[in-house]
Chain A
Amino acid sequence: MSVGTHSGPAASGTRPTAGGDAPWRRRLRFFLAVLRARPSFALGYAIVVGVIVIAALAPWIVPFDPMTADPAVYLLPPGGRHLLGTDGAGMDIFSRVLYAPRVDLTIAVTGTLVSAVIGGAIGAVVGYYEGQRAWRRALSTFVMRSADVLQAFPVFVFAIALVAVFGQSVKSIVIAIAFVNVPIYLRLTRSQVLSIRQLRYVEAAYVAGASDLAILWRHVIPNAIAPLVAQLSINIGWSVLLTAGLSFVGAGVVAPTPEWGSMIAMGFQNIVTGQWWPSVFPGIALGLTVFGFALVGASIEVLADPARRRVLSGSLG
Chain B
Amino acid sequence: MTTENRRGHPVRRRDVIKSGAALVGGAALPGALASQASAAPSGTLVVAAPATPQSLDSNFDVSLGTFEAIAALYDNLLEFKKIPDPKRAGAFREDIADHPDMPAGLAVQGKLAQSFELDPAGKFIRFQLRPGVKSNWGNELTAEDVKWTWDRKFGLKAIGAFYLSTLGLDKPEGVKVEGKYTVSINLDNPNPLLAKLQPNLYAPIYDSTKCKEVATADDPWARKFIENNSAGFGPYRLDQLQRGQQAVFKARPDYYLGKPAMDTVIFREVPTSATRASLLQGGAVDIAQYLQPLEIMKLRDQKDVAVDSVDSSFMIWLELNAKIEPFGNPKVRQAMNFAFPQEQVLKTVFQGLAGPLNGCMPNIYAGFTDKFWKYKYDPAMAKALLKEAGLASGFKTSLAYNAGDPVQEPIAILYQTALRDIGVELELKKVPAATFYNAVSERKQPMIFYVDSPWCPDVGYSMTLYFNSDSFVNYSNYKNEEVDKLIKDTSHTNDQKARLEMMTKAQDIVMSEAPWVFIAYPGYHFARRANLKGFTYYTSNNIRFQDFTRDA
User: Which residues of A line the B interface, CB within 8 A?
Assistant: 67-72, 74-75, 88-91, 168, 250, 254-256, 266, 268-275
Bound-state CA distance A29–B45 (Å) is: 73
Contact of A72 among B294, B295, B344, B403 (CB under 8 A): B344
Q: What does the 1/0 interface line of B284-317 toward A look like (CB < 8 Å)? A: 0000000010110010000000000000000000
A90-B409 contact given A74-B348, A269-B273, A269-B292, CB 8 Å threshold = no
Across the interface, do A273 and B413 meet the contact criterion of CB distance under 8 Å? no
In the assembled complex, B369 has its CB within 8 A of some CB on chain A: no
Contact of B406 among A69, A269, A272 (CB under 8 A): A269
Q: What does the 1/0 interface line of B33-60 toward A look like (CB < 8 Å)? A: 0000000000000000000000000000
Bound-state CA distance A274–B274 (Å) is: 11
Across the interface, do A89 and B428 meet the contact criterion of CB distance under 8 Å? no
Across the interface, do A89 and B413 meet the contact criterion of CB distance under 8 Å? yes
In the assembled complex, B275 has its CB within 8 A of some CB on chain A: yes
Contact of B403 among A75, A89, A250 (CB under 8 A): A250
A228 to chain B, nearest CB (A): 34
Contact of B428 among A254, A269, A273 (CB under 8 A): A254
* Cβ contacts under 8 Å, A250 to chain B: 403, 430, 432
13 pairs from A and B in contact (CB 8 Å cutoff): A69-B414, A71-B345, A72-B344, A89-B409, A89-B413, A90-B348, A90-B413, A254-B429, A255-B412, A256-B416, A266-B409, A272-B275, A273-B274
A275 to chain B, nearest CB (A): 8
* Cβ contacts under 8 Å, A272 to chain B: 274-275, 277-278, 295
* Cβ contacts under 8 Å, B344 to chain A: 71-72
* Cβ contacts under 8 Å, B414 to chain A: 69, 71, 89-90
A273-B403 contact given A68-B417, A69-B417, A89-B409, CB 8 Å threshold = no
Q: B-side binding surface: helix, strand, loop or mixed? A: helix
Q: What does the 1/0 interface line of B265-279 toward A look like (CB < 8 Å)? A: 000000011110110
* Cβ contacts under 8 Å, B278 to chain A: 272
Bound-state CA distance A88–B414 (Å) is: 10
In the assembled complex, B131 has its CB within 8 A of some CB on chain A: no
A83 to chain B, nearest CB (A): 20
* Cβ contacts under 8 Å, A256 to chain B: 413, 416, 428
A242 to chain B, nearest CB (A): 18
* Cβ contacts under 8 Å, B413 to chain A: 67, 69, 89-91, 255-256
A213 to chain B, nearest CB (A): 46
In the assembled complex, B410 has its CB within 8 A of some CB on chain A: yes
Q: A-side binding surface: helix, strand, loop or mixed? A: loop
Bound-state CA distance A70–B416 (Å) is: 11
Chain A residue at minimum C-beta to C-beta distance from B413 = A89
In the assembled complex, B325 has its CB within 8 A of some CB on chain A: no
Chain A residue at minimum C-beta to C-beta distance from B299 = A273
Bound-state CA distance A71–B278 (Å) is: 27
User: Which residues of B line the A interface, CB within 8 A?
Assistant: 272-275, 277-278, 292, 294-295, 298, 341, 344-345, 347-349, 403, 406, 409-410, 412-414, 416-417, 420, 427-430, 432
B195 to chain A, nearest CB (A): 43
A277 to chain B, nearest CB (A): 14
A273-B409 contact given A69-B417, A250-B430, A255-B428, CB 8 Å threshold = no
Contact of B409 among A68, A72, A255 (CB under 8 A): A255
Bound-state CA distance A255–B414 (Å) is: 12
Across the interface, do B272 and A269 meet the contact criterion of CB distance under 8 Å? yes
Chain B residue at minimum C-beta to C-beta distance from A266 = B409
* Cβ contacts under 8 Å, A75 to chain B: 294, 348
* Cβ contacts under 8 Å, A72 to chain B: 344
Contact of A88 among B273, B295, B410, B428 (CB under 8 A): B410
* Cβ contacts under 8 Å, A168 to chain B: 429-430
* Cβ contacts under 8 Å, B274 to chain A: 268-273
Chain B residue at minimum C-beta to C-beta distance from A257 = B428
* Cβ contacts under 8 Å, A71 to chain B: 341, 344-345, 347-349, 414
- Find the residue from B294, B409, B410, B416 having the highest chain A CB count within 10 A: B410
* Cβ contacts under 8 Å, A69 to chain B: 410, 413-414, 416-417
* Cβ contacts under 8 Å, A274 to chain B: 298
* Cβ contacts under 8 Å, B417 to chain A: 67-70
Bound-state CA distance A272–B349 (Å) is: 17
A278 to chain B, nearest CB (A): 11
* Cβ contacts under 8 Å, A70 to chain B: 417
Chain B residue at minimum C-beta to C-beta distance from A73 = B348
Bound-state CA distance A271–B273 (Å) is: 12
Across the interface, do A254 and B427 meet the contact criterion of CB distance under 8 Å? yes
A123 to chain B, nearest CB (A): 34
* Cβ contacts under 8 Å, A90 to chain B: 348, 410, 413-414
A165 to chain B, nearest CB (A): 15
Bound-state CA distance A186–B454 (Å) is: 59
* Cβ contacts under 8 Å, B275 to chain A: 272
Across the interface, do B430 and A255 meet the contact criterion of CB distance under 8 Å? yes
Given contacts A256-B413, A272-B274, A272-B277, 8 further A-B contacts (CB under 8 A): A67-B417, A72-B344, A250-B430, A255-B430, A266-B409, A268-B274, A273-B298, A275-B294
- Find the residue from A67, A268, A272 having the highest chain B CB count within 10 A: A272
* Cβ contacts under 8 Å, A275 to chain B: 294
Bound-state CA distance A315–B341 (Å) is: 65
Chain B residue at minimum C-beta to C-beta distance from A274 = B298
Bound-state CA distance A269–B290 (Å) is: 13
A74 to chain B, nearest CB (A): 4
Chain A residue at minimum C-beta to C-beta distance from B418 = A69
Chain A residue at minimum C-beta to C-beta distance from B298 = A273
B164 to chain A, nearest CB (A): 39
* Cβ contacts under 8 Å, A74 to chain B: 347-349
B85 to chain A, nearest CB (A): 26
Bound-state CA distance A273–B299 (Å) is: 9
Bound-state CA distance A108–B349 (Å) is: 33
Bound-state CA distance A75–B273 (Å) is: 18
Closest 4 CB pairs of A and B: A74-B348, A272-B274, A71-B344, A89-B413
